[in-house]
């Protein structure tokens, strides 16, 4: 498959919400069931005439640090193997976490384009907060709200530029 955009990030940052918004069909499963590792979800999307496949790599549930680390490896492996562009999602409301830094460390070592998606930047107050994610050491950071759609146009403009 060509033109694959993979969404990675720790649980609960909003990967499935963004996936659903990008594909504009309810395909991803919003999952709170503990202990379940779900299949990846693929959906077709289009922006300014360019078509691409979005992968929601999520569904990994926190059980222990070890499971967390396994989830990181699995998601990053998927992203590295398949993706044309990697969307690394973080959560502006929560702020930067150690797990975000772990993801970033691995993603910085790939030669694929990685965009940091600072999700849950729902309002102007949160627009003041997302800048801390430049500290992850990845050049492009896009504040978005997967809930209300703000910022997703700018993000997609960059995504299709990279395809
Ligand atoms: P995932 O585990 O990364 O797939 O995250 P989900 O898409 O399941 O979202 C986790 C929680 O964050 C849900 O309660 C969503 O409604 C919420 N969420 C997702 N996007 C946003 C957003 O842009 N703003 C806010 N405030 N909440 C969001
Ligand atoms: Mg999910």
> How high does pLDDT run on average in the chain?
84
- Residue of 127, 130, 123 lying closest to 147 (CA atoms): 123
Give the span between the Cα atoms of 103 and 91, in whole angstroms.
13
Q: At 12, list the tokens.
A: 């609960």
151 annotated ligand-binding residue: no
Average pLDDT of the segment spanning 132-155: 97
What residues have CB less than 8 Å from 45, skipping those under 6 apart? 5, 22, 23, 24, 51, 52, 53, 54
Average pLDDT of the segment spanning 136-148: 97
Instruction: Pick the atom of ligand 1 nearest to 30's CA.
Output: 8
- Please report, for the domain that includes residue 86, its CATH number: 3.40.50.300
Give the span between the Cα atoms of 106 and 84, in whole angstroms.
16
Give the span between the Cα atoms of 144 and 141, in whole angstroms.
10
Instruction: Pick the atom of ligand 1 nearest to 20's CA.
Output: 7
Name which residue leads in pLDDT, 29 or 93: 93
On whether the CB atoms of residues 77 and 27 are closer than 8 A, the answer is no
Ligand 2 center to 41 CA (angstroms): 10
**Nearest bound ligand to the CA of residue 147:** 1
Q: From the CB of 92, is ligand 1 less than 6 Å away?
A: no
How many domains does the chain fold into? 1
Average pLDDT of the segment spanning 57-67: 54
Average pLDDT of the segment spanning 61-71: 56
Task: Flag whether pLDDT at 28 surpasses 50.
Answer: no
In this predicted structure, what is the pLDDT of residue 41?
76
Q: From the CB of 12, is ligand 1 less than 6 Å away?
A: yes
Q: What is the pLDDT of residues 92-116, one digit of tens each?
A: 999 999 989 988 988 888 889 999 9
Domain that holds residue 117: 4-162
In this predicted structure, what is the pLDDT of residue 42?
81
Q: From the CB of 145, is ligand 1 less than 6 Å away?
A: yes
pTM of the model: 0.88
- Whether the CA torsion 152, 154, 156, 159 is positive or negative: it is negative
- Residue of 112, 59, 63, 116 lying closest to 85 (CA atoms): 112
In this predicted structure, what is the pLDDT of residue 116?
98
Give the span between the Cα atoms of 18 and 14, in whole angstroms.
6
Q: What is the ipTM of this complex?
A: 0.99
Instruction: Pick the atom of ligand 1 nearest to 31's CA.
Output: 8
Residue 24's pLDDT band (boundaries 50, 70, 90)? Answer: low
Task: Flag whether pLDDT at 65 surpasses 70.
Answer: no
């Amino acid at each position: 498959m060509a033109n694959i955009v993979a969404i990675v990030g720790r649980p609960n940052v909003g990967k499935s919400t963004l996936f659903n918004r990008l594909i504009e069909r309810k395909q991803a499963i919003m999952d709170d069931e503990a202990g379940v590792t779900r299949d990846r979800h693929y959906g077709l999307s289009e922006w300014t005439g360019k078509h691409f496949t979005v992968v929601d790599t999520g569904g990994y549930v926190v059980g222990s640090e070890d499971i967390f680390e396994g989830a990181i490896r699995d998601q990053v492996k998927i992203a590295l193997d398949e993706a044309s562009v990697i969307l690394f999602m973080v959560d502006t409301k929560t702020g930067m976490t150690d797990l975000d830094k772990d993801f970033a460390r691995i993603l910085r070592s790939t030669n694929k384009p990685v965009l940091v998606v600072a999700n849950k930047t729902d309002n102007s107050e949160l627009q003041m907060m997302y800048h801390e994610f430049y500290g992850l050491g990845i050049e492009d950071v896009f504040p978005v709200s997967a809930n209300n759609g703000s910022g997703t146009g700018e993000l997609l403009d960059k995504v299709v530029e990279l395809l």
